[in-house]
Amino acid sequence: MERIIFHIDVNSAFLSWEAAKRVKNGEADIRLIPSAIGGDRDKRTGVILAKSIPAKKFGIKTGEPIGMALRKCPDLYLAKPDFKLYIKCSKAFMDICREYTPVVEKYSIDECFLDMTGTHILYPDPIAVAYEIKDRIFRELGFTVNVGIGPCKILAKMASDFEKPNKVHTLFYDEIRDKMWPLPVRDLFSIGKSTAERLENAGIKTIGALASLDLKTVQALTGDKIGKQIHDYANGIDPSPVLEEPEEAKGYSISTTLEEDVVTVEKANKILLALADSVSARMRADDKKAFCVGVTIRGNDFKNHSHQHTFGEATDITSEIYETSKKLFSELWDKKTPLRLLGISLTQITGEDNTQLSFFSAEKREKERKLDKAMDAIRGRFGSETVVRASNYNSELNVGKKYKAQIENNKK
């Protein structure tokens, strides 16, 4: 039986979710004007996280600095991010998807795969049920999605990226030649900018041109692993299953782009403490621990540098993560280059308790763990700003007024 896979992608998710909330409350629809989700308009800090179609006509791009976007469109309306709203809307649309098939894979906060294989008795026309899901999400939740239909995940994913918004598209094997192969090679899912440039410089301009090459030629240009994947994708080959249960997160990370350059160790350490406090709390909420801590810095020369340390025993204790981050930072920074970004990552994640320490070390760690859990509980009940570690009390990091964290609970 040929597989039937849906890929459902929310159109401009963060902005759509904010707009739907406002429309429900009787306010104007910001999707109809040049608007975006981003940072602070007055201070011109942060980046564009999502944009409306009218904003796109001004050349505004996701990920570009707020200041650059405002130069392109001085009247751009900016709304601040609301991650609690995003999580709520994400769950709501995926709950609707699960009513049509039990096999739903959450691919990201705003997109998922549905394995509709074998549902032909209930839904004999896959295109009709795709429209039903799409229209129901809009009717009940107030935002639009694109639905891509194909015999595997890569083709469903490519189909959902065709014309937007609020569309259903198919990409079956007999449609690849007409619908996918004429597209620019950089439009193929998983091809990054540098890979696209190498292919284009070699005269490979379209997905069809890539598909027609022999595998060894592609691998010679891009490397064995990447070459095999993109060559398969260009030919519509993707046997990967839709995973009903999400994979365990392989890492937790947090970073902050700084409004003002950091030029002192003292200031950097305060930021590191706030980052360590936040990312370790998220990891503890999942009952996980990390064997590895990494620190990333970016100077005002826009060059990134990173360093990591692996523990003998996994940890979820804020103070241990913070002290290690400070040490890594001191090894990374030349104390001359002003810093624009600081980040902490926790990897090599485990759910097991492998602690094997002396009684006195264990006693100290248990006190630290109880303190962390008490702070987590207070913040969970009364908000993240209700309790602040003493080192950051009354600092510019308190209540997040000056530094806006860009957080990713990522699958690396």
Residues in the chain: 412
111 is catalytic: yes
Whose CA is closest to 400, among 80, 87, 90?
80
Backbone phi and psi for residue 231, each to the nearest 5 degrees, phi listed first = -70, -40
Given the residues 2, 18, 105, 111, the one annotated as active site: 111
Tokens of 179: 């619908």
Angle at 9 between CA 98 and CA 244, to 5 degrees: 35
Tokens of 26: 């009787």
Contacts (Cβ under 8 Å, ≥6 apart) of 122: none
Task: Please answer whether residues 132 and 126 qualify as being in contact, where contact means their C-beta atoms are separated by less than 8 angstroms.
Answer: no
How crowded is residue 219: how many other Cβ atoms within 10 Å of its Cβ? 17
Which of helix, strand or coil describes residue 284? helix
Specify whether the backbone of 377 is left (phi greater than 0), alpha (psi in -120 to 50) or beta.
alpha
Q: Is 2 exposed, middle or buried (0-12, 13-18, 19+ CB in 10 A)?
A: exposed
Query: For residues 107 and 104, what is the distance between their CA atoms, to the nearest angstrom?
Result: 9
DSSP 8-state assignment for residue 143? -
Which of helix, strand or coil describes residue 158? helix
**Active site (catalytic) residues:** 111
